[in-house]
């Protein structure tokens, strides 16, 4: 069976990125990759770890998919002037019918709980409901 650890990391990174930008909304801010993925120890050539690069990939994917925007990447370490897009904002303020909680509240509690299966289910639901046109 294929190891899905990279997918679980993606869901956690994407959730944390969305929550970080929601906490600053509507003010654009600098989003540091280490704040999302954790400390990075570049190798002797200055290359970032695969974990750091995967988080950077999540930032880029969220932008390409229309959930966030940013002006530029700074040396694979940060995204400048990062902010939720209209789609990203609507994704997070929408409420789930059963619990009455906003998606931001659900995402925050799920990310904090550390449960990969719950986070995967929630992120998949959110991405399906708010898929780019």
Q: Of all helices (H) and strands (E), which one includes residue 68?
A: strand 68-69
Q: 5 with 120: CB under 8 angstroms?
A: no
Give the count of domains, the chain.
Answer: 1
What does the pLDDT look like over 5-20, one tens digit per residue? 788 899 999 999 999 9
What does the pLDDT look like over 44-71, one tens digit per residue? 787 888 889 999 999 999 999 999 999 9
Per-residue pLDDT at 127 exceeds 50? yes
Domain region containing 84: 5-129
Q: What is the pLDDT of residue 2?
A: 47
- Tokens for 77? 């370490």
> Distance between CA 9 and CA 64 in Å, rounded?
18
Q: What is the pLDDT of residue 67?
A: 95
> Distance between CA 47 and CA 75 in Å, rounded?
11
Q: 67 with 88: CB under 8 angstroms?
A: yes
């Amino acid at each position: 069976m294929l190891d899905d650890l990279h997918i679980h990391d993606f869901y956690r990174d994407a959730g944390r990125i969305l929550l970080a930008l929601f906490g600053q909304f509507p003010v654009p801010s600098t989003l540091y990759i280490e704040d999302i993925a954790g400390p990075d120890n570049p190798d002797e050539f200055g290359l970032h770890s695969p974990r750091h690069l995967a988080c950077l990939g999540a930032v880029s994917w969220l932008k390409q998919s229309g959930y966030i925007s940013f002006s530029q990447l700074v040396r694979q370490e940060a995204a400048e002037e990062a902010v939720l897009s209209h789609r990203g904002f609507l994704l997070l303020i929408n409420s789930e019918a059963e619990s009455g909680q906003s998606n931001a509240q659900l995402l925050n509690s799920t990310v904090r709980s550390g449960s990969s299966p719950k986070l995967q289910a929630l992120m998949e639901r959110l991405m399906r409901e708010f898929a780019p046109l």
